[in-house]
Chain A
Amino acid sequence: MNNTSNTPLIHISKKKELPWYASWGIRLVAILAAIVLCAIVTMVLTGDNPGQVFSTMLYGAFGTRRKRWVLAQETSLLLCVSLALTPAFRMRFWNLGGEGQILAGGLACAACMILLGNKIPNAALIAVMTVASIGAGAVWALIPAICKAKWNTNETLFTLMMNYVATQLVAYFSIIWEVPKGAGQIGIINQSTESGWLPQVGPHKYFLNVLIVLILTVVMAVYMKYSKHGYEVLVVGESENTARYVGISVKKVIIRTLLLSGAICGLAGLLLVGGTHHTITTTVAGGRGFTAVMVAWLAKFNPFAMIASSLLLTFFSQGANEISTVFGLNHSFGDILTGIVLFFIIGSEFFIQYKIHFRKKSAVSESGKEA
């Protein structure tokens, strides 16, 4: 009897839950390995000193007070969208429409700033903008949610399509409100009067955005962990039949959760348009609706871990900016480095959850003896 052919060369099995230090050890090793590979790629492709490239990345993200504020602000906006996606994803409703929901919120915000700017008191205008943005974002998520709840449509495709609709709407209104005529873009709204601009609070103009998102993080963590709603979301995500059996209205939970998801994306639109850009363009969401998917997954939908994962991704994008400027490299080079690091981080999750068994040499020789 020869059993060597029956034993696979590599055999994968699920691991028991690792202690936190072991799993973090694996992640750390993965990041270190990624950095080494990045260094090699840098040297081979550009001939630049990888040490310099890395220190430039760090400088790009943390180098000056303003850069640190930009990092904080970009991190919070990405975090805001990730928080928005979290309840939907927990429910296994794949909301890929963050981009469109942000744009819908941003467009509503810009509409208020253009149509009501300098006509009503600023506090009232900001209140109207807030309601309009959050409402528009919620409606943009509500449409696919209702179709999912009623007719079980595919939410992934539906939310994706809603992104294109939102983009085209923004393009349409960019022409309606263009300044000057024919330019096809709106430019900063109310630049001289700052009507409808979110006010500066605290030490920096970006502080308000950071503060709002931090509060939101805590609220979302509490909502998901301790509220009845949060529990219902988990049950529906695990099994709709179980949910029905225990008397949870699945339709209601889907619609309610997506309203929340869209509303927070709408809030992100408000912060982007009313807080920082003060204009609306088709690119204002900047891919955050998609990047946030990665942020949420990397953090395993834990709102506090998302602070770290959104910081990590923002750090790389700010660092990549600086590299491309200082070394005169194309912007894509930063993306290559980011891709390598993400590949290793996501790959490391495999080694945390699974164990690899190689065919043992001794087993082969033993079976050989038997034969």
Chain B
Amino acid sequence: MRKLFGAFLALAMAASLLTVPAKAADVKVGFICLHDENSTYDLNFINGAKEACEQLGVEAVIRTNVPEGQECYEAAADLAEAGCVAVFADSFGHEDYMIQAAKEYPDVQFCHSTGTKAHTENLENYHNAFASIYEGRFLAGVAAGMKLNEMIEAGTITEDQAKVGYVGAFTYAEVVSGYTSFFLGMRHVCPSVNMEVTFTGSWYDETAEKEGANKLMDDGCVLISQHADSMGAPTACETRGVPDVSYNGSTQAACPNTFIVSSRIDWAPYYVYAISAAMNGEAIDTDWTGTLATGSVVLTDINEDVAAAGTVEKVEEVKAALEAGELHVFDTAAFTVEGAALDSYLADVDTDPAYEADTEVISDGYFHESEFRSAPYFDLQIDGITLLDTAF
């Protein structure tokens, strides 16, 4: 064994001589992903990374299957030492380890999508990013509401039967913000809608998501949407012929008879912005929130075989109103909590173990989502939405 070990060491030394970085002049950018291309969530990031790097002519170094532990720190440190000007990570649980790496490598920019701590960490080289995906969800909700209206008009269901099901991952603000904006989008066009939400306790659990969707359909839900990353809910809908609004990207290929539309975040605009800034030595925003205008919040093509007539036009109309600022997703006139409209709410914007509410987020008649930090913090339980289980 000792001989073997010696041989390894000798080879290792030889190898370290051989593998001096060959293309030192090229700019490299590192990406850390929780899973690989098989997860729709990570695929969405990887596509964005490749697109942005191609556009800027820089080299993307992508590290997949990095768990949310010390491995993330090691991966980030590896990428920093390999000469990357910026390192991006895609999963919420990567954040603390990215911060650890950012403290150790002050000359490299560390950007973390979906994180919440950049604005309280005060590190010059650590940044959070997200997008106003609640606007995308709202638009997807409009498309879903149009479908409900069509079903009511056709007599398939009555107004009171306009019940929609939603498969969520955790009772986390990002999910709450997502399903609430989707619901408000539906109610914008279909006033009688109500919604049931179930949680799976995992961001990716195909079986649990499928079971969740089936449970909701058994419960009388006539349309399904989701905030979890597998094909579980869409395929359950396709099997039973129930219309579906998916997330992270189109599921039309697998579900041609039920897919209506999907909203997703396009990360390429952020990557282009942050990488260019890192290359030019300019400061990157501590919290960057992509919008409809930056091209970060996008809807897939609407599947006209399933969607109601006139959906495309209606969605365009609402989108224009949102962009013009005439319409706000979380307008306090559009929802109530325990029967009353809100004129004030303290949200937990600064992350702490005690979940302390710290920031007033309602002013000018609407809830200001993703303005005090990029990651969502809307965690109100509004009337019209029933949570079936809140264990997670």
A residues bordering B, Cβ < 8 Å? Answer: 24, 28, 31, 55-56, 58-59, 61-64, 66-67, 70, 171, 175, 177, 179-185, 187-188, 191, 276-279, 281, 283-284, 286, 305, 307-308, 311-312, 315, 321, 324-326, 328, 330-331
Contacts and interface: CB of A to CB of B under 8 A. Distances in A.
Nearest to A60: B78
Contact of A59 (B15, B93, B173, B353): B15
Nearest 7 interchain pairs by C-beta? A182-B172, A62-B12, A58-B15, A188-B96, A308-B1, A182-B171, A59-B19
Interface in B246-288: none
Interface stretch (B62-70, B182-190, B295-303): B62-70
Given A180-B355, A308-B5, A331-B64, A62 B16 contact: yes
Contact of A187 (B95, B173, B175): B95
B11 interface: yes
A285 B354 CA distance: 28
Contacts of A315: 8
Interface string B339-376: 00000000010011101000000000000000000000
A61 to B, nearest CB: 7
Interface residues of B, number: 54
Contacts of B116: 180
A187 B348 contact: no
A325 B62 contact: yes
B7 to A, nearest CB: 9
Chief secondary structure at chain A's binding surface? helix
Interface string B10-45: 011111101100000000000000001000000000
Given A175-B392, A182-B175, A284-B69, 10 more contacts: A58-B14, A63-B16, A66-B77, A175-B201, A180-B348, A181-B355, A182-B392, A183-B92, A183-B172, A187-B95
B78 to A, nearest CB: 7
B99 interface: yes
Given A180-B351, A188-B97, A58 B69 contact: no
B150 interface: no
A182 B176 contact: yes
Contacts of B64: 324, 330-331
A62 B3 CA distance: 17
Contact of B4 (A56, A59, A308, A331): A308
Contact of B99 (A177, A182, A191, A286): A191
| Max chain B C-beta neighbours (<10 A), residue from A28, A175, A182, A321 | A182
A187 B112 CA distance: 14
B333 interface: no
B3 A188 contact: no
